[in-house]
Amino acid sequence: MFALVVRFELKDTAAAEAFDQLVAKTGEGIAEHEPGTLVYAIHTVTDAPLSRIFYEVYRDREAFDEHERQPHTRRFLDARPEYVESFRVEFLTPTATKGLPG
């Protein structure tokens, strides 16, 4: 299993709305074309309306690499700078889980 968390800080309210639309469209592509993506969850942050948290779990590193090559992901990555002030990526090693393959 391969997992990561990304925290995005968005530029302003208009950027947040456009970013959310971009994410929704990207999510459609992930759902349709990525069987190795086990979890792709997007969260808003309570009391931080310009923040978004992505929690991503992939079957393995190859599934993540395949995700990164997909046209819908490439569109997201290319458009992201227009909306994002900053972001931080943290790669995770699952140790104790419920609901994820073991």
Are 3 and 95 in contact by the 8 Å Cβ rule? The answer is no
Alpha helices, DSSP H, located in the chain: 13-33, 61-69, 71-79
Mean pLDDT, rounded, for 77-90: 98
Q: pLDDT value at position 100?
A: 82
**Mean pLDDT, residues 25-37 taken together:** 97
Return the CATH number of 2-92, one of 3.40.718.10, 3.20.10.10, 3.30.70.100, 1.10.760.10.
3.30.70.100
Q: Is the pLDDT of residue 58 over 80?
A: yes
pLDDT at 102: 67
Q: What is the mean pLDDT of residues 57-79?
A: 98
How much is the average pLDDT of 5-24?
98
pLDDT category at 95 given cuts 50, 70, 90 is: confident
- Give CA–CA dist 13/80, Å, rounded: 15
Whole-number average pLDDT of the chain: 96
pTM of the model: 0.93
Dist CA 83 CA 7 (whole Å): 13
